[in-house]
Amino acid sequence: MQLMTQTDPNELKAALREKNINPTIQRLAILECLRSTRSHPTVEEVKKMVEARLPMISTATVYNVLNNFEKNGLARAISVHRNSPQRFDGDLSPHHHLFEDSSQSLIDIPIESVSIDPKILEQYNISGVEIILKGVKRA
């Protein structure tokens, strides 16, 4: 759940090359954006963040790059509600999320904050856990 600060251009290039992804300017900018935020941005939010440097970038390009990152294990895609846009997380370390309803923000919560019944772990080989708590912050 650490904020990834691997935004060194050479490290970003290496991360893409490792997945056999050609490190274009667009992909590098989007990867840097994902790794420098904890806000779990949507496609539109990523577009806004990279537009400062790449004013001509299209929503379709951002969408395709983010989905490619997700497919190749460079990002997690998170669906909070069926009708709300997907969000993307560049932090691949194990953690859960909490969706805070009044601010509409998705907050990282430590993996230890949710425990799984050991009986379930005895019966299945768990390959992934995706828990999104939903609620509002108490006053």
Residue whose C-beta lies closest to Zn ion: 89
Tell me the pairing of strands 95-100 and 87-89.
Answer: unpaired
- For residue 34, which phi and psi values (nearest 5 degrees)? -65, -35
Minimum separation from the CB atom of position 132 to Zn ion (A): 10
CB count, 10 Å around CB of 16? 20
- 32 lies in the site for Zn ion, by CB under 5 A: no
Instruction: Give the residue with the Cβ less far from Zn ion, 11 or 108.
Output: 108
Q: For Zn ion, what does the binding mask look like between residues 62 and 91, x meaning CB under 5 A?
A: ---------------------------x--
Measured between alpha carbons, how far is 124 from 86 in angstroms, rounded to an integer? 28
Contacts with Zn ion by CB under 5 A lie at 89, 108
